[in-house]
Amino acid sequence: MATRLFVGNINHTATENDLQDHFAGAGTVVSVNIIQDKFTGKSRGFGFVEMSSQAEAEKAIAEFHQKEFQGRALTVNEARPREDRPSHGPRGGGGGGGYRGGRDRRDFRERR
């Protein structure tokens, strides 16, 4: 069964092919995904590498964690399951309300 690894501190110029070639030294790489900023399209400096077995994943962690890759020491560990984020409903994220009247807040409190 394939095991997914989290890889952090990736050089922003590294490509998925670079990462795949690097991790191939530990075994069969099933997939590589470098996370990109959705607005700029630039690398966010972390990603995921899926190795074909648990043994290969453990070997990759042992070989590459805190080891240099393109000038940066990688963080490599087993990826945790993605946490569910709470939904804010159909209106999207909510901001705090707050008093927005044109008068001073003290005037508003005194009338209560």
Phi and psi at 69, nearest 5°, equal -140, 115
Q: Report the C-alpha gap between 32 and 88 in whole angstroms.
A: 31
Phi and psi at 75, nearest 5°, equal -105, 120
To the question of pTM greater than 0.95 for the whole model, the response is no
Task: Check pLDDT > 60 for residue 108.
Answer: no
Q: Give percent of the chain with pLDDT exceeding 90.
A: 69
Residue ranges per structural domain of the chain: 3-78
| Residue linked to tokens 């042992």 | 62
Alpha helices in 24-98 (DSSP H): 54-64
- Which pLDDT band holds residue 19 (cuts at 50, 70, 90)? very high
Q: Report the C-alpha gap between 14 and 45 in whole angstroms.
A: 9
Mind listing the pLDDT tens digit for each residue in 76-107?
999 998 787 776 656 555 555 555 555 555 65
Q: Give domain 3-78's CATH architecture.
A: 2-Layer Sandwich (3.30)
DSSP 4: E
